[in-house]
Structure 1
Amino acid sequence: MDDRKAVVVFSGGQDSTTCLFWALEKFEHVEAVTFQYGQRHIAELECAREICMKLNVHHHELDMTLLNQLAPNALTRDDMEIKEGDNELPSTFVPGRNLLFLSFAAVLAKQINAKHLITGVSETDFSGYPDCRDGFIKSLNVTLNLSMDETFVIHTPLMWRDKSDVWALSDQLGAFDFVKEHTLTCYNGIKASGCGECPACQLRNRGLEQYEELRQGGTIK
């Protein structure tokens, strides 16, 4: 497998776009893969396409709408409320999503002879999703290698970063303004700073405020 090639699991949001810039700095050849799984907002797919076009990154789209049939959730169903549970998983959790996305990304990587897979999951600033944890990623990496008799390496540049640290990384990569203006994180399908009310916007904007305070005060981590 070509150690210079990488595939980024890409949604067009803050995290995956930061990872895309990270990959472009680390590897000679980078491609992105976006999954259609019945998202509420087609704007997410359009945003991913636009960003890849701006960055001249080859973009793949794969149909995973079966997830919507098997795992009803607030990210795909308008009739389900977006809510964070105290003692249960958020209504936005999609069972099996990262398992399937990374598995199909690995199949794609094998076809283009790419050794590296990059995903923007984080155990530091997350919504309690079990498939964003470091243990899951390490376990899946072993499983993918055994299943295809390959030596894939899954990279998680954001695993131990909170949202303020993610903004800091985008700044280090020279992508701060790009990520701020062109990405879509909002559950309500609004680009940039979003609706400001959904959990995704609150997390993103709180991290941005924290980082900008550090930036202005000259105390960046």
Structure 2
Amino acid sequence: MTQAKRAVVLLSGGLDSATCLAIARDQGFDAYALSVAYGQRHTAELTASLRVAQALGAREHRLARIDLGQFGGSALTDPSIEVPEDMPADGESAGIPVTYVPARNTVMLSIAMAWAEVLGANDIFIGVNAVDYSGYPDCRPAFIQAFETMANLATRAGVEGARLRIHAPLIDLSKADIIRRGIALGVDYGITVTCYQADEAGRACGRCEACRLRAAGFAGAGVTDPTPYQLRNA
């Protein structure tokens, strides 16, 4: 029997990364899920990542730790910066919002790159999206392409001809399309956590931009929203 190809899948525990894991598995990869505790205030998503990895059949699940919170600069890592709750319902905002975490995707992809090389995996999946998103610069196709180029220059595997590929299968999909794809692949979105300020039980605030984009996605997909809310006013 032919051994399945290995892939490292970045798994936050949210809607997008869960869908990305399901896509990797559907494409025949043995998925090695990687979650990163980077100092985020919404730690309920890390608990959710355990549930998602198990439910979607990850071969292994690792939690890496890097404290980006020591630098601050983001509402997601610095408790002195409030998570905005007045973002437009359509997800469009003026400029890059304070929920942007400097270097987050660069750091997480770098850790994934290291583990992939140890595993002998030539593929990394990340659930970034450039359609229904917050305008983060590290969610754009140009960034993904540039990181892949760098990865193949910076690793032994790359320079020896085992080309590393960065997969971003959600990058040009709307949130509604992502949800439809995930449901077709059997993703239970009720076990995911997307909210920037979810409580310890994983219940969403229903007011932050992440909650608004998620709720709009379910509405657009014509699917009942399974998200548990602290206050059902999203």
TM-score range, shorter chain: 0.7 to 0.9
**8 A Cα contact 2:7 2:116, kept in partner:** yes
Pick aligned residue for 2:153 from 143, 146, 167: 146
Q: What is the TM-score when the length of structure 2 is the normalising length?
A: 0.83
Hey, which of these two has a bigger chunk of helix by percent? 1
Identical-residue share of aligned pairs (%): 36
Using the alignment, how far apart are the partners of 2:56 and 2:181 within structure 1?
18
Answer whether contact 1:39 1:76 (CA < 8 A) is retained. Answer: yes
Which AA in structure 2 matches 1:208?
Answer: F
* Alignment root-mean-square deviation, CA: 2.0
- Once the 2 structures are TM-superposed, how far is the Cα of residue 70 of structure 1 from its aligned partner? 2.3
Residue 178 of structure 2 corresponds to 166
Q: Over residues 56-90 of structure 1, what are the superposed CA-to-partner deviations in whole Å (9 max), with x where a residue is unaligned? A: 4211111111x111242111222211235954311
Match of 2:208 among 195, 198, 204: 198
- Runs of 4 or more, structure 1, over 6 Å off, are none
List gaps (5 residues or longer) in structure 1. 214-221
Aligned equivalents of 1:5 and 1:47: distance in 2? Answer: 23
Cα displacement (A) at 1:47:
1.1
Relative to structure 1, is the Cα distance of residues 193 and 163 closer, same or farther in structure 2, using a 3 angstrom cutoff?
Answer: farther
**C-alpha distance in structure 1 between counterparts of 2:10 and 2:154, whole Å:** 20
Task: State how far apart, in whole Å, the 2-side matches of 1:44 and 1:171 are.
Answer: 20
Which residue number corresponds to residue 183 of structure 1?
192
- Size of the alignment, in residue pairs? 208
CA distance in 1, matches of 2:79, 2:141: 31
| Aligned counterparts of 1:193 and 1:164: Cα–Cα separation in 2 | 21
Matches of 1:123 and 1:55, distance apart in 2: 24
Gap change, CA 1:192 and 1:36, over 3 Å in 2: closer
Does residue 112 of the first structure (1) align with residue 119 of the second (2)? yes
Instruction: Measure the CA separation in 1 of the matches of 2:94 and 2:209.
Output: 16
